[in-house]
Structure 1
Amino acid sequence: MTKVTAQMSVSLDGCYTGPRDAANPQDMSGWMRGPEAPGFFRVTRWAVDATAWRERQGFAGGEQSVDSEIVAEMFAAAGAYVMGRRMFDAGEVPWGEEPPFRAPVFVVTHRPRAVLEREGGTSFTFVTEGVERAVELARAAAGAKDVAVAGGGELLRQVLAAGLLDQLDLHVAPVLLGDGQHLFGPGLGLGVDEGIELVPTRVVDTPGVTHLRYTVTGRSKLVLDDRGASGDLVGPATTQR
């Protein structure tokens, strides 16, 4: 059965890039020279150093490691991708004529554009009807494989808020960025008494990153825990004498 999955590399304090350029938040032409890139390349260093990632990009070298096996697994599982327009705009030129996806990619955007065909089996279809429609199209294109949410963080929050995500893989780099774009927080559409529940299904530790896999089980109501209380509710930082 086709799953909707997401992969995201984050710092220990939850950032997936450095801070966005406040002066030009949508201009991706200078992204590599802007404030987002240093944090992004730090948290994704584990992947960039992996042989499987480098081979997919057409680069030589890299390390044969557990990290490389996880990258290879990630590519092998995906039959189609969904991504945000900022990610596409930042990657269109660096990816070149043969992007690493080798599968249909559905770009969620407000700016229509004709389908872009690339070598190696990658195509980019620009979907203006919202994230639900993009995931629907990706499911149809994925066959027996999974739909992979390729990023960025804003799109992943939309997919989570819509209840469309089945599996979340977080790759936690041992670094504190201090400032940057946080993966989670406002934007999930949760009330004060709601949460999105996840069940951990895999933990893999390597020297440069901790790989965490969760099954997303959906929204739940948060309840006050008054176990052990008699009379008034006992708060988390109080005791009753």
Structure 2
Amino acid sequence: MHIIPVIDLLRGQVVRGIRGERQHYAPIESPLCGSSDPREVVPILLDYAAADTLYVADLDALTGGAVQAALLSRLLKHDPGLTLWLDAGFADATAFDALCGELARLGADAERVVPVFASESLASPAQAAAALRDRTRSILSLDRHGEETLDPAGLWRATALWPQRLILMALERVGAYDGPALELLQSVRAQAPGGTRLIGAGGIRHADDLTGAAAAGADAWLVASALHDRRIPRAQG
């Protein structure tokens, strides 16, 4: 199972995400990192998971503020091999293009920022279709909270718009150690076009959960709390 470490960024600090209740997120207290400074947290997480991809949820942008572009730039400059999957509440493709303009001073490094378009943020089918037109580069996050799908554009049912990479974001399980939503994974796997890579999110308690998720059809999993709390052993190699 491929682990993709996650950081939630709020006002320049890494915070601990719990059940998608963003108003309660606080700077992380991590047995693994001992800091909430992303410049310290990110290298430790990547090393512990032997990963070269980082999922970033920019909570400033997700709650209506500006994307933390300067911080993203520093992370990219610090690690030339790093790829950032960025969820910044992009309402449409234009919003991501505007961020790319801000990052343009990085030159080719800007190509290492991959947009995550979240179903909770895309407001209409037309905006969703435009945002997801590059099926190989863009990533779609299908978001839910409990039994409620967060989906104004109807993307949970619009399988023809699904790109090659699909995140199943069970917000009610994020940071909660409730176990992965395997029934959701199996349901989406049955609907997904051939070749779709499914990335789960939320609920991982230990390494056995990752094994079970792989058996249920997951190609990768987004993980934060189980890494910080050392519930998953350090990756070898």
Classify the TM-score, shorter chain: 0.3 to 0.5
Q: Which has the higher helix share?
A: 2
By percentage of residues, which structure has more strand?
Answer: 1
**Which of structures 1 and 2 has the bigger CA Rg?**
1
TM-score (norm 2): 0.35
* Higher RCO structure, 1 or 2 (CA under 8 Å, sep 6+): 1
